[in-house]
Structure 1
Amino acid sequence: MTMSRIFAALTAASMAGGLAGPLASQSYGQLSEETRGYVAVRGATVALENVRVVDGTGGPILDGQTVLLRDGRIAAVGPSSSVSVPAGAERHDLSGHTVIPGMVGMHDHLFYTAVGGRRVQLGYSAPRLYLGSGVTTIRTTGSITPFADIHLKDAIDRGDSPGPRIHLTAPYITGSSGAPHQARMTSPEQARRFVEYWAGEGATWVKAYTSIRSAELGAAIEEAHRLGLRVTGHLCSVSFQEAVELGIDNLEHGMLTASDFVAEKEPDRCPGNIMQRAGGSDPTGAVAMETIEAMVEAGVGLTATLAVYEAFFPDRDVVDERTLELMTPDLREAYLDERGRIQEVGPDPSNFQNELRFEKAFVDAGGLLAAGVDPTGNGGALPGFGNQRNFELLMEAGLSTAQAVQVVSANGAKILGVHEDVGTIEAGKVADLVVLAGNLESDPYTIRAVRWVFKDGVGYDSPELIEATRGLVGIR
C-alpha cells in the first residue's frame, strides 16, 4: 500500500468516524466565472427575514423567523423580532416563503439510465439539477465511471463547476452475475483488495449489489471498517437480516429488494422476481417487524428510493411536465410509450403502497430513514426532481412535514457522519439552505417551488441552474 493510499485511508477513517474538523466554506470569491453566473445572492452577511422554518430536527415548524448567514455559516436563527441583523447585511424579506435545510441525497448517482438501454454519464446535467432542486450534498452510491465522478467532485470542490458536495462510492461489487460495470467478487481476498484500492482513490463508501455472497460481503465490510469506510447494499442473495449480522452500515431501497420476505430463499442465492414477491408481502407482519427490529437495534439506516420505483407502477402520477421538458425529444417519446405499457401490464400497484407502509413502520420503530432519487430504471426519476418527489411520497406514506424534511436532510447527514456540519438549520452549521416560494406545511408540492439554494452561504438561482439542462437530460 503506497504512502498516498495510507494517507487517503486515514483521512477516510477520520471522516467516517466523525472526527474530521469543520467543513471549509466555499466563498463567492473562490468560484469560477461560469459558476458565478448562477449566483443570485452573494453577500458575506445575508438575512432571510420573516420566513417559515422547517429546521430538519423534526421539531415544530416556526413562522416569522429570520435566518442570518455570515461567512458561509448560520450565524443565528430565531424570531424576526429578536434576531439582530448587523448594518451592511444583505436583507431579504421573504414573507410567504419556507426555508428548509439543503437536502442530502443518499442514492444520487451521477449517471442516468432510461428505457431502451440508454445509459449516460450526466457530468453536466446532474450536478446542476441536484443543486438547483435543493440537494446540497449527495452520496453517489455506486458508479459506472468512477474516475469521472472523482474529477467532477474535484471541479465542484474547486468552484469550477456548480454542484452539491459529493461523497464518493466505489464501483459496485457483486457476485457471479453482474453487469459489465460491476466488479465480480469471487473470493474474500479479492473483496479486501478491492476495498483497499478504492480507499486509496478517495472513496468513503462501498456499494454491494444483488448477487454478492456472504463471505465476500463480510470481507468487504471488515476491510472497509478497518480503513474507515462504510458499506451499503442493494442486496438479494444476502438478506437484510444477514447483512445486519455481517455489520453492514446502510441498506438501500426497502422491502422491494429484501429477500427476507421469501420463505424458501436459499443461502447466497437471489430468488427470482424479488420485487413482486417481496412487495406482495405484509409490510407490517412478523418478517417485516423482525427485519426492522434487527436494523434499528444495530443502527443500520435505510435509504428510501421511492421516486425511481414509482415510475414502474401503474396508476401513479409520474408524468411530471418539468421532467419531460428537460429530456431529449427521443427520450421523452420513449418514456411516454413505456409509461403507456406499464399502465396496461405493470405490477400490482398495491406493492408500491406496501413499500410506503414499510418505510412508515421503519420510522415509527425508531429507524434512521434517509432518501435518494436513484436516477436509473426507465428514466422517469431525474436527479434533483426525484429527490423532491421522494419528499412528496414520504408525506403520502403518512410522515408529517417535519418528519419528511428530517428524512431528506438530517438523517442522510447522520448516516454520512457529517451531521455536526450540515442537515439542519442551527446556529454554527454550514449555511446550506433551500428557499421555497410557498407554505410547505399546507402544500407538499411547494418542495418543487425552489427560488434559491444556499450552499456555503452562497445563494444559487434555482431556475437558472435547471434551465441550463433543458433538452440535455439523456445526453450530458
Structure 2
Amino acid sequence: MKKLLKGIGKTVITVFFCLVFSCKLYAQSAYPYAIQAYISYKQDTIALTHCYFGDVIHKTVLSDETIVIAHGIIISTGKTKVVHIPPGATIIDCTGKTVLPGYVLLHEHMFYPDASISPYYIHYKQLPVSFPRLYFACGVTTARTAGSVEPYSDLSLKKEIDAHQIIGPTLYVTAPYMEGAGGFAPQMHEITTTEEAKRFVNFWADEGFTSFKAYMNLNRAVLKAAIDAAHARGLKITGHLCAVTYREAAEMGIDQLEHGFFAATDFIPGKGEDACVSELNPFKHINPRGKEIKDLINILVKNKVILTSTLAVFEGLCKQDTIPKQQAFDAMSPDTRDMYLKYYSHEKSADMDSAMTKELVMEKEFAGAGGLLTAGTDPTGNGNVLAGYGSLRAIELLTKAGFTAIEAIRIATYNGAVALQAQSTIGSLEVGKHADMVVIDGNVADNINNIEKVQFVFKDGVGFNAQKILQQLKGQVGKF
C-alpha cells in the first residue's frame, strides 16, 4: 500500500506540473486527415501495460511494467501491479511486447545514391517523401542530418514535421557539407580559405541550421576556422575527415567524429600533412587493442569528442555481407532495386572484412574508456542501407562489438540525446519526458533482431501504426 500511495503521489504531482506549467504543447488534433489515417492512438491518457520495459538508464530490460502517458508526457512508470492508471485512460495490453525509447540517431540523410554509370557521374537524390516516413516507421523519433545536398529541402522538412504536416522524426538539421579542394561529389561546395569557412558558417547559421559537418578534403587551417566560427555561434561541428587526422581535429576542438574510426587516417603510413589518403582498411597496420589506438582514444575522451558509429553502411561493402533483407528490397522502386543489384551491390572488398572486425573492437574500446558512442545510419555507400531499415541494422551490429542488446539500444537512444543536449526531454522512458516510444513484438533481451518487429511508434504521446506506414511505402523508395 505504501508503494501504491507513493506511485499515485508522483503521478498527481507530475500531471499538475505539466498542466500548470505547460511543459509540453500537446497538439494531436493538428494532424491533417491524411496523417490521421496512420494514427492508432491519440487519446489524452494512455497506459501501456504488462510490457517489457527498455530501461536504457540502468541498461536492463524489466518485465511486467506499465507506462502511463498524458498529454504527450510520460507521467508514471513501474510494475503493473503498483502503477496507478487514471480513470478513463486507454489501456494497451503490451504482453509479450517491448517498449523502448524512440531512437535518436545522428548520421542521417534525406538523400540516397543516384549515380550514373555510363557516363559516370556521382549524384545523390533527395527523398523527402519516403525517407522521413521510413525512419519514423522503424522507430526513429529524433534524427540529426549529417550533411545536406538540398539544404532548403531539409529545412522545409523540419518545419513541416514540427507542424505535424508530414510524418517523420524531429530533425536537427546540419548545413551543407564543408568540403575542401578535390572533392568527389559535385553537389558539395568546396571551401579553400579560412575567411570563406567563417562566411559559410555564419550564412547557414542565419538560415536556421544548428550544426555543421566538415568533409574529407578540408585542410587543418580551414577546419580550425570552421570550428571556431561554429562555436562562436554556440553551434556544434562534426566531421567525416581524411586530410585532417582524428588527433589533429580533437586538439582543435571538434565536437564529434563520424563513422567510428573508419575515417581516421592517423594510422596510414606516409600520410602527409593536409593530404587525404583514403584506404578501405585504414587499420591494416595496427592492433585494435594496442597502444596506438588506446593513445588516440585517450585523446578523444580527454577532449570530449563524441564518436558516431555507422556500421551498417560499411557492412554493405564487406565480402561477408549478405544482400539487404527482403523488406528493404520490397521498399525500393523497381529501378532503384535494379541499380543496386546490377551495379552497387558489386562494390565489395575483402579489405573491408578485416577493417570491420577491427572497427567493432575499437568502438567497444572507445566506449569502455568513457567515450560517448552514438549511432547513425548513413543511407549512402553502395546503396545497401535504406533509412529506417538500415537504422535498425546499425543498432543490431553494435551487439557484434560485444554490447548487450540494451546497451546497443542505449547507444541509439540516450547517448544520442546526450550528444544533442536533449537528454532532459528525450532518450529514455522517464517521468516528465516526451512520450517518444517504440512498441515492438517480443523481448529485445532475448534477441536484438526483435527490434525489426515494430508495431507502433509514439511521438509526443500519439501512437502511429508502423506497419501501415511501411506498407504504403512498398515499391516507392527511390522515386521521391
TM-score for the superposition, normalised by structure 1: 0.92
Alpha carbons of structure 1 residues 202 and 342: separation in structure 2 relative to 1, 3 Å: closer
Among 373, 384, 387, the alignment partner of 1:383 is 387
Contact 2:123 2:186 in 1 (8 A): no
- What residue in structure 2 maps to residue 123 of structure 1? 128
Deviation at 1:330, TM superposition (A): 2.5
TM-score for the superposition, normalised by structure 2: 0.91
Is the partner of 1:77 in helix, strand or coil? strand
1:182-261 aligned within 5 A: 182-261=188-267
Gapped runs of 5+ residues in structure 2? 1-20
Alpha carbons of structure 1 residues 22 and 194: separation in structure 2 relative to 1, 3 Å: farther
Deviation at 1:276, TM superposition (A): 2.1
Deviation at 1:59, TM superposition (A): 2.8
Among 267, 278, 287, the alignment partner of 2:273 is 267
Contact 2:318 2:352 in 1 (8 A): yes
For residues 434 and 99 of structure 2, the distance between their equivalents in structure 1, rounded to whole angstroms, comes to 14
For residues 279 and 135 of structure 1, the distance between their equivalents in structure 2, rounded to whole angstroms, comes to 34
- What residue in structure 2 maps to residue 175 of structure 1? 180
Matched, 1:292 2:297: yes
Contact 2:26 2:460 in 1 (8 A): yes
For residues 351 and 50 of structure 2, the distance between their equivalents in structure 1, rounded to whole angstroms, comes to 46
Contact 2:345 2:382 in 1 (8 A): no
Task: Give the aligned CA root-mean-square deviation in angstroms.
Answer: 1.7
For residues 433 and 72 of structure 1, the distance between their equivalents in structure 2, rounded to whole angstroms, comes to 11
Among 146, 150, 154, the alignment partner of 1:145 is 150
Is the partner of 1:359 in helix, strand or coil? helix
Alpha carbons of structure 1 residues 462 and 169: separation in structure 2 relative to 1, 3 Å: same
- What residue in structure 1 maps to residue 28 of structure 2? 28
- What residue in structure 2 maps to residue 352 of structure 1? 356
Contact 2:317 2:352 in 1 (8 A): no
Deviation at 1:22, TM superposition (A): 9.2
- What residue in structure 1 maps to residue 46 of structure 2? 46
Contact 1:25 1:430 in 2 (8 A): no
Is the partner of 2:60 in helix, strand or coil? coil
Partner deviation per Cα, 1:123-170 (whole Å, 9 max, x = no partner): 000110010000000001100000000111111111110110000100
Out of 427-436 and 329-338, give the one that drifted further. Answer: 329-338
Matched, 1:474 2:475: no
For residues 26 and 362 of structure 2, the distance between their equivalents in structure 1, rounded to whole angstroms, comes to 39
Contact 1:432 1:456 in 2 (8 A): yes
Amino acid paired to 1:196: N
Matched, 1:415 2:429: no
Deviation at 1:465, TM superposition (A): 1.4
For residues 204 and 33 of structure 1, the distance between their equivalents in structure 2, rounded to whole angstroms, comes to 31
Contact 2:73 2:434 in 1 (8 A): yes
The total of aligned residue pairs comes to 454
- What residue in structure 2 maps to residue 11 of structure 1? none
Q: Using CA pairs under 8 Å that are at least 6 residues apart, name the structure with larger relative contact order, 1 or 2.
A: 1
Is the partner of 2:225 in helix, strand or coil? helix
Matched, 1:61 2:67: no
Contact 1:52 1:62 in 2 (8 A): yes
Among 281, 304, 307, the alignment partner of 2:286 is 281
Partner deviation per Cα, 1:339-364 (whole Å, 9 max, x = no partner): 76356x55341221111111111111
1:67-146 aligned within 5 A: 67-113=67-113, 116=117, 117=122, 119-146=124-151
Matched, 1:442 2:453: no
Is the partner of 1:282 in helix, strand or coil? coil
Partner deviation per Cα, 1:410-464 (whole Å, 9 max, x = no partner): 1111111111110011000010000010011111110100000001010011011
Alpha carbons of structure 1 residues 225 and 75: separation in structure 2 relative to 1, 3 Å: same
Is the partner of 2:254 in helix, strand or coil? coil
Partner deviation per Cα, 1:91-113 (whole Å, 9 max, x = no partner): 01111001110001100101111
Contact 2:114 2:125 in 1 (8 A): no
For residues 154 and 55 of structure 1, the distance between their equivalents in structure 2, rounded to whole angstroms, comes to 31
Partner deviation per Cα, 1:294-318 (whole Å, 9 max, x = no partner): 1111111100111111101111234
Amino acid paired to 1:454: F
1:330-349 aligned within 5 A: 330-338=335-343, 341-342=346-347, 346-349=350-353
Deviation at 1:280, TM superposition (A): 5.8
Amino acid paired to 2:398: L
Deviation at 1:394, TM superposition (A): 0.4
Alpha carbons of structure 1 residues 163 and 180: separation in structure 2 relative to 1, 3 Å: same
For residues 407 and 279 of structure 1, the distance between their equivalents in structure 2, rounded to whole angstroms, comes to 27
Out of 465-474 and 190-199, give the one that drifted further. Answer: 465-474
Is the partner of 1:335 in helix, strand or coil? helix
